[in-house]
Amino acid sequence: MIDLNGKKKIFLIGIGGIGMSALAVILTKRGYEVIGSDKSKSKTVEILNEMGIKTFIGHSKDNISKDIDLVVYTNAISDDNPEYIKAKELNIPAIERAKMLNMLSSNKFAIGISGTHGKTTTTSMIAKIFLNASKDPTLAVGGHLNEINGSGYEGSGKYFIYEACEAFGSFLKLFPEIAVVTNIDDDHLDYYKNFANIKKAFYQYLNENIPPHGMIIYNSDDKPLNSVVKKINNKRKIAVGIKNKKADFVAKDIELNEFSSNFTVIRKGKIVGRFFLNVPGIHNVYNALLAIATANANGIEYEDVYRTLANFKNADRRFQIKSKTEELTIIDDYAHHPSEILATLSAAKNLSIKKNAMLIAIFQPHLYSRTEFLYKEFARSLAIADKIVLTEIYAAREKNEHNITTKIVYDEIVKIKGQENVFYTESLDNIPDTLKPLLLNKKNVVVTLGAGDVWKISEKLAGNL
């Protein structure tokens, strides 16, 4: 393995991605010469360029030179990536992102946030609490935080807070002192093949990667997660819950409002206080409980937690309000799994009912494999909305080997809602025209959903206003 002591030249393949850009920032702040490439220009690439990090647009073997000491890549790159191939030809060491993240965090007290859903929101909450408590942590977040103008930050404190993602088994390369876990669900089936393998991976991560002196902070109301944690011995555990009244941290007397919530927290039978949370949805109450428990375990005063949650603004694309008028509210969300869509649309439905408005969901499926595995679940989650607009699948890294299209989701929704309530347009560009007759309703809440580029629709709608 390459020695990271001293100044080295490191090339990041896919540097514009949220996870890779965080590494780029931290490496640069630690004195390494960082360059990289990405398939297209973006806001993230612009921020990196402003920091003096050279970024090539487009992947080419010519971007890799002999003076590069190390190449870091994401699991999302294809085997025929020309930069990865050139690095191998030149015998330049190449490691995946998770290994580099673990190397960077090895000299810090690491807190890893994992789980199928809610990682970025929970990481953002914990990160902001630690920042407000003057802990100055190093951060690698899965979304853009305005406080650090990106997803990566090099702090002077002892903590390193990062997302420990289960995709491709990446979190098995990470060894945090504290593992915060939101839930376990059936995602990334293109890699894991079945739900049993996902649970095995979480068990391995929590049982083998967390040191004996470490700690697991988890949502005990999530049955798959709870069953995994119960099997693990010789680890300190802190449970949070709403249904599980025996959990270490329990939320009760929950009030869900249009854009916020508030609840009382009980710790081991004693009232901690009432918390106001500046984002909506019962799923975010769970995320906040995990953040509260993590802060308490690290000696942070509840006053710092109160203040952070009351003023909390989520990372970009997490129930992000793009525009709000009396007649039309436009929300953009990264939700790309049926459970995430269910949580997001449940919060949006609460808003639409209170506003006496129609709820319109615009969904762009992400990955052919995920759509193929979960199309029936997608349909059931989307059916919460009054009207659903579908567009074609965002392929990302995948090839369409089984000729999968959004039509399989469309057909399932028709069975539930009827053909008059679901619409399909192949191109994002045609969605505004599809929406026009729907927006004739006096009041509307429009939610764009997906991990691809469907966010462009919410920005276009907001811009037209």
- Residues carrying an active site annotation: 119-120, 163
Strand order in the sheet with 236-241: 150-153, 138-145, 159-163, 109-114, 178-181, 215-219, 236-241, 249-256, 261-267, 270-277
Secondary structure in 3-state letters for 130-190: HHHCCCCCEEEEEEEECCCCEEEECCCCCEEEEECCCHHHHHHHCCCCEEEECCCCCCCHH
Residues in the chain, total: 465
d(CA 110, CA 16): 24
d(CA 377, CA 374): 5
Which pair of structure tokens corresponds to residue 145?
């935080």
**Does residue 70 contact residue 92 with C-beta atoms inside 8 Å?**
yes
Residue 45 CB contacts under 8 Å (≥ 6 apart), including other chains: 15, 16, 38, 55, 57
Identify the burial level of 3 via C-beta atoms within 10 angstroms of its C-beta, where 0-12 means exposed, 13-18 middle and 19 or more buried: exposed
Q: What DSSP character marks residue 205? A: I
Helix 302-310 vs helix 119-132: angle between axes, to the nearest 10 degrees?
A: 120
Strand order in the sheet with 54-57: 54-57, 33-38, 9-13, 70-73, 94-96
**Does residue 280 contact residue 300 with C-beta atoms inside 8 Å?**
no
Question: 6 to each of 31, 158, 243, 317, how far by Cα in Å?
Answer: 8, 21, 51, 37
